[in-house]
Amino acid sequence: MIVVMKPRAAQQSIRAVISYIEKNGLQVHLSEGEEVTIIGIVGDKSKLSTENLTIFKDVDHIVPVTESYKLANRKFHPEATTVRVGNTSIGPGSLTIMAGPCAVESEDQLMCIARAVKAAGATILRGGAYKPRTSPYSFQGLEEEGLKYMQEAKACTGLSTICEVVSLEAIEAAVKYVDMIQIGARNMQNFILLKEAGQSGLPVLLKRGLCATIDEWLNAAEYIIAEGNPNVVLCERGIRTFETATRNTLDLSAIPVLRTRTHLPVIADPSHSTGSYKYVGPMAKAAVAADADGLMIEVHNDPAHALSDGPQSLNFEKFMALTSELAPFCRLMGRKLGEEGI
Amino acid sequence: MIVVMKPRAAQQSIRAVISYIEKNGLQVHLSEGEEVTIIGIVGDKSKLSTENLTIFKDVDHIVPVTESYKLANRKFHPEATTVRVGNTSIGPGSLTIMAGPCAVESEDQLMCIARAVKAAGATILRGGAYKPRTSPYSFQGLEEEGLKYMQEAKACTGLSTICEVVSLEAIEAAVKYVDMIQIGARNMQNFILLKEAGQSGLPVLLKRGLCATIDEWLNAAEYIIAEGNPNVVLCERGIRTFETATRNTLDLSAIPVLRTRTHLPVIADPSHSTGSYKYVGPMAKAAVAADADGLMIEVHNDPAHALSDGPQSLNFEKFMALTSELAPFCRLMGRKLGEEGI
Amino acid sequence: MIVVMKPRAAQQSIRAVISYIEKNGLQVHLSEGEEVTIIGIVGDKSKLSTENLTIFKDVDHIVPVTESYKLANRKFHPEATTVRVGNTSIGPGSLTIMAGPCAVESEDQLMCIARAVKAAGATILRGGAYKPRTSPYSFQGLEEEGLKYMQEAKACTGLSTICEVVSLEAIEAAVKYVDMIQIGARNMQNFILLKEAGQSGLPVLLKRGLCATIDEWLNAAEYIIAEGNPNVVLCERGIRTFETATRNTLDLSAIPVLRTRTHLPVIADPSHSTGSYKYVGPMAKAAVAADADGLMIEVHNDPAHALSDGPQSLNFEKFMALTSELAPFCRLMGRKLGEEGI
Amino acid sequence: MIVVMKPRAAQQSIRAVISYIEKNGLQVHLSEGEEVTIIGIVGDKSKLSTENLTIFKDVDHIVPVTESYKLANRKFHPEATTVRVGNTSIGPGSLTIMAGPCAVESEDQLMCIARAVKAAGATILRGGAYKPRTSPYSFQGLEEEGLKYMQEAKACTGLSTICEVVSLEAIEAAVKYVDMIQIGARNMQNFILLKEAGQSGLPVLLKRGLCATIDEWLNAAEYIIAEGNPNVVLCERGIRTFETATRNTLDLSAIPVLRTRTHLPVIADPSHSTGSYKYVGPMAKAAVAADADGLMIEVHNDPAHALSDGPQSLNFEKFMALTSELAPFCRLMGRKLGEEGI
C-alpha cells in the first residue's frame, strides 16, 4: 500500500500519516520526490483499514500494490488447476463442453436433450432447476424434481451434470443429485451463497457478475476457496455495457487476463452473453481461440417452444454442426474435445 | 407485444407467426405497412413466451408494449405510497434522513452515533450488522449482537432503525430487533432473499443494483410486493460506469423517472455512490432538489478509525452542518425534515 | 510516477528498470518492502515514456502520481475562474442560464424564442447553426445564415450568444457573429478543433464527451488553454451508461469532483442528458443544488414541430415556470440568477 | 415507426396523434388492443420528426422499425463488399493484416519495421503521422514528413499503406502519399471529417468510437458512403466499459452482429483494445475465429523505447510468431493470409 501525498504537503500532515501507520503496528518507507512525497506501508496490512488514510490532511490518494485474493492468485500458485467434475475434468489439455437446456422442463425433454448433446461431444449436461428470473411472473423452474431428472439423465448417458443454485436449500438438494453447482451472475456477490457453496464439497462454476470487475470476480472465488473448496471454475458470460445489439458484451479479453492472475480454469458462455443463437457459433470459436478451457452452450429440442431463453438456444442440428466445427480449433489449441479429455 | 417483420417478409413467414400466436390462445392484429408488416399480439401474454418469436423466419424484432411489473407500477396505482417505518414514515411531504455508521462496531460507538444523528434531525438509525464485503478477509459485521445494539439505541433515542440483511437467518434476527430491513445493491437480484423479505412483514429498503436498469429494479420490488408486502422504499445508490473519480455514479435522473413509473417512495444514498465525504453534501442537496423522499447518509464518530467505509463517512460536526443546510431546501420542496414529517 | 515490481522480482530486473530511468536523465527512489519493491521516479517525467516500463521484466504496474493537465489544474490555480461572455459572465456568485432552440430554424423562430427566454431570466441565447447529427439524412442546420439570426437576436434583446462549432470554417463564421463557441460532446477529443477554438479568441463552452472521464475532459480543456485561451467553461451533459430510461446519465457528482480538480466554471445541461422535457425541471434544480455555475436548457416555441430535439425542449410557459422555481434555489446557493449586471 | 399509446388513452389523444401524422402527409394504421392502442405510421417518414410525437398527450413511447442507414445496410445490399487497398484487398476469402508502429518516428525506424512486417505476412503497413493524444503535451506525430516515409516504405517493400487522418489538411496530404486513410475512434462522429473522407477518393478504415453503438457506427459509415465513397472498412477496437484490467473491452460479438447488418468488411484491433502486448495474440486468434476480415496490429522494433503505445506493441519476434500461429486459423476459416489473398 502506498500513500501519495499532495504536492507541497505540510510536514505536519506527513507526520500524521506516519504516526497513524506506526500506531497500527506497521512500518513506513518514506520517499520525498521533487513534486510529491510518497509513503510506503510495510508489514501486515490486515492490521489497519488503509482506505481511511484518504481522509487525512494533504493525502492525495492511496495505491494498493497487492491483490486482496491470495488462494485464487496465480502469483502464489503458478500451476494451472484442473477441476474434476463427475467423470470428466476441466483444465489444461481439454475443451469441456457443458450443454443442455436453460431450464429443465420435463423428464422427456431433458433425456432427449441429454442424448443429443452427448452424441455431439458434450461431457457435462447443464439444466436449470432453480431459475433466477427478472420478473416474478416468469417460469421459476422445477426445483428438486428437475434435479432428479438430471440424475436420471446422468444414469442413462454417463454425462456429468451441473445445475445453478440460488439458496442453501438448492445446494442441499444439488449435493444429492448433481456433480457440480453453478453460482449465477446475479448471485456472484451473494457472499452467503458463496460460503455455502464453499462448504458443499461440490465443484463450483462461478459466473461473472454483469458488472463485476475481474478483481471482484476473483475475490468472489476466494470466498469459496477460503471455505476449503479449491474446485472453482470461472465462467465469462458477458458484462453489461451500453451496447444493446447483443444482450451483454462477451468479454473474451478476460480469458488472457485471468491466465495471468489466477490458476483457476475459465470457460465461456456464448449463449447468455449474446442472447441469440445466431451469434453462438462465432463466439464459441472465438472463445476456444482465446484459450478457454470450456464452453457452456444452451441446447434445446424445440427452441421456439422453450420456456426460457429460446432465442439463444441451439437446436440439435445446429449444436452438432458447431461441435464438428469446433473440433479442429481444439486441435490447434492443443486441447481434446469431449470424452477424450478425461 | 408487437412483432416487427423484416422488409419483404414472405407471406408464409407471416402466417407462421400468426399461427403460433393463435395456437397459444391469443389474437393478432395485422398491420401491413409499405416497408414492413407488423403483428400486434392481443390477449393474455403470460400464455406464451413471446421472446421465442425472434427465432421465427423473417422476424426482425419484438417490441414489448407493457411493463412486466404491475403492483409497483404507477399506471395501475396513481397515488404515491407512504411507507410507515417504526414511528416515522417515508413518502410525500417529508424528507426522511437515515443516518448512522456503515458497520455497527460496538455498543458505545452505536449509542454515541445514535444520539448525534438524532440531535441533527435524522429519524432513522442505520447500522450494518451483516456486511457484504468484496474480500472474505474484510470485517464482516457483528451479526445478531449488532442488531441488539440497534434495539438498545432505539430504546434510548426513539429513533426507528434499519439494518441490511443478507440471508434468511439475518431476516429472522432483524424481525426481532429492527423496524426496517435493507436489501443491498449486490443482492438486488437475489430473488430468494427478495421473496423472504416480502414474507418478513417488515418494510423493505431496496437498493438499486450496481448495473440494474430501472425496469429490473422495479421488477425486483415486484418480487417483494408479490409476497404481500407493499412497504417497499427504493434507494438510488449509484450505478457502475466507466468514471472512476467517484466510486459509482449517482443517477439522480432515476428519481424523476421513477416518479412516472412507480408509486413507491425513493431515497438517495450520497455516501456509497460517491465514496467520499467531500461529495456527500452537494449530492445530498441535489437529491433533495430532485425530489427524493429521503437520504441515507453514513455518519461515524471517528471516520479515520472506522472499520468500514471511513472515507465516505461524515463526522458529527459535518453531519450537523449538512442537515442545517438541507433544511431550507426541504422547505422549498414542500417537505418537512425530521420528526415533524410523521 | 511509481513503478511497482512483482513480488520476488529478480535483482537483475530491478536494476534494468533503474538503469533505464537513469539513462533518461531521471533519478530513482528505491523502496524495498516485505512483499514488493517500489521504484519512485524523480525528475522531469516528460523526458521518458514511462508507460513503456510496463514491458520490463518483473514490473507489475505503473502508478502515475500527478495529473497531465497543468493550466486547468486547481492545484496550481486555487482561485475559481470567472469567464466573461459578451455582456454577462459565468462563475462564482451567479447562475447563468443559456437557453434557446436546439437548432436555429428561421429568423422569426429565433427572435420569438430570444424574447421569451430573456423575459424568463436567461442571459445567454443558445441556438445551433451547425448540427452534428447521427444520421446524414437528418437536418444539419442553417450554418452561417443561422449565425446571422443569432447576431440579430442579440441586437434586439441584449442577450449574449453561443453557438456550437464543428469545423474551422464554423469557428471563423462564429467569430463574426456570436459571443461564445461550443465544442459538442462528439468533438470533445477532436484535438484539431480544440486547438482552433483555443486560437479563436472567443470563450469556449466545452461539453463532456459521452464516454469521457473527468481527467480526459480536463485534458481537452488543457488543449484550448494551452493555445493561450483561458476562457473555458465546462458543461456536464450526461454520460453513456447501460441505463436507457434517460438518453444519457447526467453525472452531477462531476460538479463537486471538478471543484476539487479545476478552477474552471462548470454548468449542466439537463435537456440533452435526460432527453425528455419531463425530467428537465428536477435535474435543473438538482444541478443548482450541486453548485453548478449555470444551466443550458433547450426552449422552443413549438416543441411538437421542432426540427431537432423536440421531446426535450421546454415551451415558453414551462421555461418561465422553471426559472421562477429556480430563483429561490439560487438564493440558497448564494448565486444571482440572470441579471446582466455583474 | 409505431406510436404506442398509454393504457386507457383518451380517444381525443389518439385523434390528436393521428391528425398530426396525417397533416404531415402520412397515413396511419390503427390497432386497438386490449391493453393499449398502437398507431403505425405508413409512408415516407422523412416528412416528419417522429420523435416529437413523444410529447403528445397519452403517448407512451415510439418504436422505430427501420434503420436510418441505407447504403451500409445489408438488407438492401446482401452481397459482402470487398474493398481494394493499393495492391491488396479486404473482404471475403482473405485475412488482411495491417501492421506497423503506432507512430512513425523516423525514416529508419519505419523502413526497418516495414521489412519485418512484410516478411511476417502483413500486406498493409500502418503508421501514425497525425496522432490524436489525450494530453497536449504528448508527442503529436511527424505529420506530412511521416507520410513521405510511408510512401518510401511502400516503394521499397510493395506494402500498401494506411495512415490516420484528423483534419482536412491531413486528408489532403494523405491522398498524395498513402493508399487508405483511417478515421480514429475519437473522430468517429466528427461528421465534417467523415464527409471529407468520403470525398477523398481513398478507401477509409472507420474505427468504432469508444462509446458508439453498432447503429451509430453504421450511421457514421453512411456519412462516408453518402459522399460517393463505398470503400469503407469497419474496425472494432474496443469499447469503454467499467472493466479496467484491459484498456478497453474488445467487443468481438460486434463481428457477427455486423455480418447481419452490413455488407462492409470488418477487422479487429487487438492492440489498442487490450493495451498490452500480452493479450494481443489470444485476441488476434479470437478475432479470426469470430470471422474478422483482417487485423490491425501494432509492431515496433524496440517497444521499450517507442514514443507512443510501447506496452501494446509486439516486437518482430513476437509478431512473426503470431502470424505463424494465425495461419492455420485462417485456413480453418477459409481465408488466405497475406499476399495470396489478392
Torsion of CA A285, A291, A294, A295, to 10 degrees: -30
**Residues of chain A contacting D279 with CB distance shorter than 8 Å:** 253, 256-257
Average pLDDT, chain A: 92
- Calculate how close chain B gets to A223, using CA atoms only, in Å: 5
Q: Phi and psi at residue B197, in whole multiples of 5°?
A: -65, -40
**Residues of chain B contacting D34 with CB distance shorter than 8 Å:** 42-43
Rounded Cα–Cα distance for residues C2 and A63 (Å): 10
C126-144 tens-digit pLDDT: 999 998 888 888 888 999 9
**Residues of chain C contacting D52 with CB distance shorter than 8 Å:** 303-306, 310-311
Tell me what pLDDT residue B341 has. Answer: 39
Q: Which residues contact D26 (CB under 8 A, 6 or more apart)?
A: D41, D42, D43, D44, D45, D47, D48
Lowest-confidence range among A184-198, B152-166, D14-28, D231-245? D14-28
Whether residue C6 contacts residue C36, with contact meaning beta carbons closer than 8 Å, is answered with yes
Percent of chain D whose pLDDT exceeds 70:
96
Rounded Cα–Cα distance for residues D228 and D222 (Å): 10
Give the residue with greater pLDDT, A37 vs A183. Answer: A183
Percent of chain C whose pLDDT exceeds 70:
97
**Residues of chain D contacting A245 with CB distance shorter than 8 Å:** 213-215, 253-254, 257
Q: Which residues of D make CB contacts under 8 Å with A?
A: 211, 213-215, 239, 241-246, 249-257, 260, 273-274, 278-279, 281-283, 285-291, 328-329, 332
Whether residue C122 contacts residue C97, with contact meaning beta carbons closer than 8 Å, is answered with yes
D127-140 tens-digit pLDDT: 999 988 888 888 88
Tell me what pLDDT residue D342 has. Answer: 38
Q: Which residues contact D100 (CB under 8 A, 6 or more apart)?
A: D110, D113, D114, D117, D122, D125, D126, D127, D298, D299
> What band does A249 get if pLDDT is binned at 50, 70 and 90?
very high
Closest chain B residue to the Cα of A51, Cα to Cα = B311
Whether residue C184 contacts residue C210, with contact meaning beta carbons closer than 8 Å, is answered with no
Which of A49, C333, D106, C81 has its CA nearest to residue B326? C333
Q: Phi and psi at residue B257, in whole multiples of 5°?
A: -65, -45
- Calculate how close chain C gets to D132, using CA atoms only, in Å: 6
Tell me what pLDDT residue A339 has. Answer: 58
Q: Which residues contact D11 (CB under 8 A, 6 or more apart)?
A: none
pLDDT of residue A78 exceeding 80: yes
**Residues of chain C contacting B211 with CB distance shorter than 8 Å:** 242
The correct answer on CATH 3.20.20.70 for the domain covering C83-337 is yes
Lowest-confidence range among A301-310, A327-336, C74-83, C178-187? A301-310
DSSP string, C108-131: HHHHHHHHHHHHHT--EEE-BSS-
Q: Three-state SS for C292? A: coil
Lowest-confidence range among A242-246, B5-9, B149-153? B5-9
Question: Within 13 Å and on the Cβ side, how many CA atoms surround D291?
Answer: 17
Rounded Cα–Cα distance for residues D282 and D271 (Å): 11
Rounded Cα–Cα distance for residues D50 and D302 (Å): 55
- Pick from D29, D35, D38: which is nearest to B33 by CB? D29
- Calculate how close chain B gets to A251, using CA atoms only, in Å: 15
CATH superfamily of this structure's domain A83-341: Aldolase class I (3.20.20.70)
Length of chain D: 342
Q: Best mutation site among B216, B218, B242, B243 for testing chain C: the one with the most C CBs within 10 Å?
A: B243
- Calculate how close chain B gets to D240, using CA atoms only, in Å: 7
Closest chain C residue to the Cα of B276, Cα to Cα = C257
- How many Cβ pairs closer than 8 A exist between chain A and B? 112
Vertex B330, ends B324 and B332: CA angle to 5°? Answer: 120
- Cell numbers representing residue A150 in the block: 438430471
D141-175 tens-digit pLDDT: 999 999 999 999 999 999 999 999 999 999 999 99
A208-228 tens-digit pLDDT: 999 999 999 999 999 999 999
Q: Three-state SS for C74? A: coil
B196-254 tens-digit pLDDT: 999 999 999 999 999 999 999 999 999 999 999 999 999 999 999 999 999 999 999 99
Q: Inter-chain contact D250–A250, Cβ cutoff 8 Å?
A: no
Q: Three-state SS for B295? A: strand
B282-299 tens-digit pLDDT: 999 999 999 999 999 999
- Region A239-264 average pLDDT: 97
What single letter denotes the amino acid at residue D237?
R
Q: Inter-chain contact C75–A7, Cβ cutoff 8 Å?
A: yes
Whether residue B138 contacts residue A64, with contact meaning beta carbons closer than 8 Å, is answered with no
Q: Inter-chain contact D239–A243, Cβ cutoff 8 Å?
A: yes
Closest chain C residue to the Cα of B329, Cα to Cα = C329
Q: Best mutation site among D13, D49, D60 for testing chain C: the one with the most C CBs within 10 Å?
A: D49
Tell me what pLDDT residue D47 has. Answer: 65
Tell me what pLDDT residue B342 has. Answer: 37
Whether residue D188 contacts residue D211, with contact meaning beta carbons closer than 8 Å, is answered with no
Q: Inter-chain contact B249–C241, Cβ cutoff 8 Å?
A: yes
- Pick from B132, B306, B307: which is nearest to A191 by CB? B132
DSSP string, B194-238: HHHHHHS-S-EEEEPPTT--HHHHHHHHHHHHTTT---EEEEE--
Which of B198, B199, B204 has its CA nearest to residue B178? B204
Vertex C74, ends C71 and C77: CA angle to 5°? Answer: 65
- Cell numbers representing residue D50 in the block: 417522429
pLDDT of residue A300 exceeding 50: yes
Average pLDDT, chain B: 92
Q: Inter-chain contact B240–A211, Cβ cutoff 8 Å?
A: yes
Tell me what pLDDT residue A342 has. Answer: 38
Q: Inter-chain contact D166–C223, Cβ cutoff 8 Å?
A: no
Q: Please classify residue A331 by burial: count the beta carbons closer than 10 Å to its beta carbon, then call 0-12 exposed, 13-18 middle and 19+ buried.
A: middle
pLDDT of residue B35 exceeding 80: no
- How many Cβ pairs closer than 8 A exist between chain C and D? 112
A27-63 tens-digit pLDDT: 888 877 766 788 888 777 666 777 788 888 999 888 7
D56-88 tens-digit pLDDT: 899 888 877 778 899 999 988 999 999 999 999
Lowest-confidence range among A83-97, A168-182, A251-265, D26-40? D26-40
Which of A279, A219, A223, A218 has its CA nearest to residue A248? A279
> What band does C28 get if pLDDT is binned at 50, 70 and 90?
confident
Q: Where in chain B is the domain with CATH 3.30.70.1140?
A: 2-63
- Region B104-116 average pLDDT: 96
> What is the pTM for the complete model shown?
0.93
Rounded Cα–Cα distance for residues B274 and B269 (Å): 9
- Pick from A32, A42, A242: which is nearest to C240 by CB? A242
Q: Which of A13-17, C140-144, C212-216 has the highest mean pLDDT?
A: C212-216
- Calculate how close chain A gets to D268, using CA atoms only, in Å: 12
Rounded Cα–Cα distance for residues A8 and A30 (Å): 15
How many helices (H) and strands (E) are present in chain C, helices listed first? 10, 15
- Calculate how close chain B gets to A294, using CA atoms only, in Å: 26
Beta strand spans in A43-82 (E)? 59-63
CATH superfamily of this structure's domain B2-63: Phospho-2-dehydro-3-deoxyheptonate aldolase; domain 1 (3.30.70.1140)
Q: Best mutation site among C63, C252, C269, C288 for testing chain B: the one with the most B CBs within 10 Å?
A: C252
- Calculate how close chain C gets to A12, using CA atoms only, in Å: 19
> What band does D340 get if pLDDT is binned at 50, 70 and 90?
very low
Beta strand spans in chain C (E)? 2-5, 27-32, 37-42, 59-63, 83-85, 88-90, 94-100, 124-126, 160-165, 180-183, 204-207, 232-236, 266-268, 294-298, 336-337
- Calculate how close chain B gets to C237, using CA atoms only, in Å: 12
Q: Where in chain D is the domain with CATH 3.20.20.70?
A: 83-341
pLDDT of residue B66 exceeding 80: no
Whether residue B190 contacts residue B115, with contact meaning beta carbons closer than 8 Å, is answered with no
Tell me what pLDDT residue B46 has. Answer: 66
CB atoms within 10 A of CB C201: 12
Q: Inter-chain contact D303–C166, Cβ cutoff 8 Å?
A: no
- Region C292-316 average pLDDT: 92
Whether residue B237 contacts residue B51, with contact meaning beta carbons closer than 8 Å, is answered with no
- Calculate how close chain D gets to A170, using CA atoms only, in Å: 31
Tell me what pLDDT residue A277 has. Answer: 95
Q: Inter-chain contact D252–A215, Cβ cutoff 8 Å?
A: no
Q: Phi and psi at residue C121, in whole multiples of 5°?
A: 115, 0
Q: Which of C293-307, D54-68, D232-246 has the highest mean pLDDT?
A: D232-246
> What band does C46 get if pLDDT is binned at 50, 70 and 90?
low
**Residues of chain B contacting A306 with CB distance shorter than 8 Å:** 49, 52
Taking only Cα atoms into account, the Rg of chain A, rounded to an integer number of angstroms, comes to 23
pLDDT of residue B267 exceeding 60: yes
Q: Inter-chain contact A256–D249, Cβ cutoff 8 Å?
A: no
A260-283 tens-digit pLDDT: 999 999 999 999 999 999 999 999
DSSP string, B50-79: GGGGGGSTTEEEEE--S-S--TTBTTT--S
Q: Three-state SS for B249? A: strand
- Region A193-200 average pLDDT: 97
CB atoms within 10 A of CB D61: 13
If you ran DSSP here, which 8-state letter would residue A307 be given? Answer: S
